[in-house]
């Protein structure tokens, strides 16, 4: 790892792709501002963040990746709590060595249990810490880190009451890549997509969703006659059928780089997705009609409720959803131009705009006053 005399910023998180995408969106803008900053990502060995970070490159600048043991604090009794305690303690000790070697000027985390021991260590070393709260419901990891943060940025205004005077409502940073017809044409050419058929993008987020994957497998034979499908299954998520061969009308990938996912989303007529905030933010930015299937009994249901109240997406419940209903919903939306226009208009208003620029400004302020 090559660390020069420039200021170093450590991005920390993991366990899901959403928090990583948000952190990299901020890093992209800071790099493009041509500040003398180096970025290092601290995450888990086996999470999706390693692949996402390795694929990140802006102005020939890449981000070094350091792994940290990851333990989870559960709110219920489990024998794994005892095992993970030692993982967390080990990560806490290792964090001091990482901090001493890299000498960061700022730590930025968007949640995830890998961040917790690292943030605790950074606080003891008197390193400024910025925490970003993506979801409506504050996670345990962010609650454990919040007392040690200098600043907490939040996606939704309602989250201000969860964190008090240190909280700032900014929205949720996203890739904010430029879009024009040539870029849409390029991504279609790359993935052998044709204009005669609408594109439906299925995604379960960086970790994927086996439940959505299983629904897609059952729905594809009915869908494929009228649509093209790009299916992001998630890392390590295997499809239940290995006999699907529909050429370029159905293409499945475990993971793609962030830029390709963004452009494929832009090229889509409809997106079927989980309710992770990184994906939801890009849907809002692109004003994209969407069917959302939140992870049952999780914070994603709170996120979905915001979109449901705004009439900004079609919300379906995984526990009762069948492939037949999913196909019917997809076909109804694609056949109804007026409905798609209303969904596009409503989803564009859900999340506050210019979050990346606002957060970059706050970071530059912290760095200038350190």
The whole-angstrom separation of Cα 65 and Cα 54 is: 8
The whole-angstrom separation of Cα 142 and Cα 131 is: 7
pLDDT in tens, 267-317: 999 999 999 888 999 999 999 999 999 999 998 999 999 999 999 999 999
pLDDT in tens, 110-142: 988 889 999 999 999 999 999 999 999 998 889
Confidence class for position 5, pLDDT limits 50, 70, 90:
very low
189 and 286 belong to one structural domain: yes
186 and 330 belong to one structural domain: yes
pLDDT (average), residues 89-106: 93
126 and 32 belong to one structural domain: yes
Taking residue 337's Cβ as centre, other Cβ atoms within 10 Å add up to: 9
Q: Is residue 1 included in any domain, yes or no?
A: no
Percent over 70 (pLDDT), the chain: 91
Q: Find the range with the poorest average confidence among 76-80, 121-125, 150-154, 171-175.
A: 76-80
Q: Find the range with the poorest average confidence among 1-10, 166-175, 218-227.
A: 1-10
**Contact yes or no for 204/213 (Cβ under 8 A):** yes
Distance of CA 114 to the CA centre of its chain: 16
64 and 150 belong to one structural domain: yes
Q: Is residue 323 included in any domain, yes or no?
A: yes
Q: Is residue 250 included in any domain, yes or no?
A: yes
Confidence class for position 55, pLDDT limits 50, 70, 90:
confident
Confidence class for position 4, pLDDT limits 50, 70, 90:
very low
222 and 107 belong to one structural domain: no
268 and 199 belong to one structural domain: yes
**Contact yes or no for 47/14 (Cβ under 8 A):** yes
Q: Is residue 259 included in any domain, yes or no?
A: yes
311 and 343 belong to one structural domain: yes
- By C-alpha distance, which of 226, 236, 196, 230 is closest to 50? 236
| Per-residue confidence (pLDDT) for residue 235, from 0 to 100 | 79
Q: Is residue 193 included in any domain, yes or no?
A: yes
Q: What per-residue string of b and e applies to 300-333 under the rule 16 or more CB within 10 Å gives b?
A: bbebbebbeeeebbbbbebeebebeebbebbeeb
Q: What is the pTM of this model?
A: 0.81
Confidence class for position 65, pLDDT limits 50, 70, 90:
very high
User: Residue 190: which CATH number?
Assistant: 3.40.50.2000
69 and 153 belong to one structural domain: yes
If you average pLDDT over every residue of the chain, what do you get? 88
Q: Which residues contact 64 (CB under 8 A, 6 or more apart)?
A: 1, 2, 38, 39, 40, 41
| Per-residue confidence (pLDDT) for residue 249, from 0 to 100 | 93
145 and 185 belong to one structural domain: no
250 and 192 belong to one structural domain: yes
Q: Is residue 260 included in any domain, yes or no?
A: yes
Query: What are phi and psi for residue 317, nearest 5 degrees?
Result: -95, 125
31 and 163 belong to one structural domain: yes
Number of domains, the chain = 2
Q: Is residue 2 included in any domain, yes or no?
A: no
Percent over 90 (pLDDT), the chain: 64
pLDDT at 20 over 90: no
Q: Please state whether 138 falls in left (phi above 0), alpha (psi between -120 and 50) or beta.
A: beta
65 and 166 belong to one structural domain: yes
Range of the domain at 168: 7-172+353-369
Tokens representing residue 344 in the block: 């596009």
pLDDT at 98 over 70: yes
pLDDT at 226 over 60: yes
- By C-alpha distance, which of 14, 12, 299 is closest to 149? 12
Q: Is residue 127 included in any domain, yes or no?
A: yes
The whole-angstrom separation of Cα 11 and Cα 29 is: 14
pLDDT in tens, 326-349: 999 999 999 999 999 999 999 999
pLDDT (average), residues 38-50: 85
């Amino acid at each position: 790892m090559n660390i020069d005399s420039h200021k170093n910023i450590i991005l920390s998180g993991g366990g899901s792709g959403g928090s990583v995408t948000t952190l990299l969106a901020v890093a992209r803008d800071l790099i493009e501002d041509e500040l003398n900053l180096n970025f290092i990502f601290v995450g888990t060995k086996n999470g999706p963040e390693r692949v996402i970070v390795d694929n990140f490159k802006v102005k020939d600048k890449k981000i070094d990746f350091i792994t940290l043991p990851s333990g989870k604090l559960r709110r219920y009794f489990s024998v794994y709590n005892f095992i993970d305690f030692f993982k967390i303690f080990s990560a806490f000790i290792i964090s001091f060595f990482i901090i001493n070697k890299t000498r960061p000027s700022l730590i930025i985390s968007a949640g995830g249990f890998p961040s917790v021991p690292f943030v605790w260590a950074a606080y003891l070393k008197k390193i400024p810490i910025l925490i970003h709260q993506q979801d409506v419901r504050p996670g345990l990891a962010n609650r454990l880190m919040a007392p040690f943060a200098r600043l907490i940025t939040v996606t939704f205004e309602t989250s201000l009451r969860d964190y008090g005077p240190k909280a700032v409502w900014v929205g949720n940073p996203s890739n904010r890549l430029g879009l024009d017809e040539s870029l849409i044409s390029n991504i279609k050419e790359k993935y052998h997509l044709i204009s005669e058929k609408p594109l439906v993008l299925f995604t379960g987020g960086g970790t994927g969703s086996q439940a959505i994957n299983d629904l897609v497998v059952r729905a594809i034979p009915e869908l494929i006659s009228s649509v093209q499908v790009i299916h992001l299954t998630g890392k390590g998520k295997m499809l239940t059928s290995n006999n699907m061969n529909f050429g370029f009308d159905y293409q499945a990938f475990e993971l793609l780089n962030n830029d390709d996912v963004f452009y494929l989303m832009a090229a889509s007529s409809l997106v079927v997705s989980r309710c992770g905030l990184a994906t939801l933010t890009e849907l809002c930015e692109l004003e994209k009609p969407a069917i959302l299937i939140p992870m049952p009994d999780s914070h994603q249901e709170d996120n979905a409720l915001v979109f449901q109240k705004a009439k900004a997406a079609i919300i379906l419940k995984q526990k009762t959803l069948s492939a037949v209903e999913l196909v019917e919903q997809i076909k109804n939306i694609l056949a109804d131009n007026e409905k798609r226009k209303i969904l596009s208009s409503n989803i564009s208003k859900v999340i506050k705009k210019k979050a990346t620029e606002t957060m970059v400004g706050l970071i530059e302020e912290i760095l200038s006053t350190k």
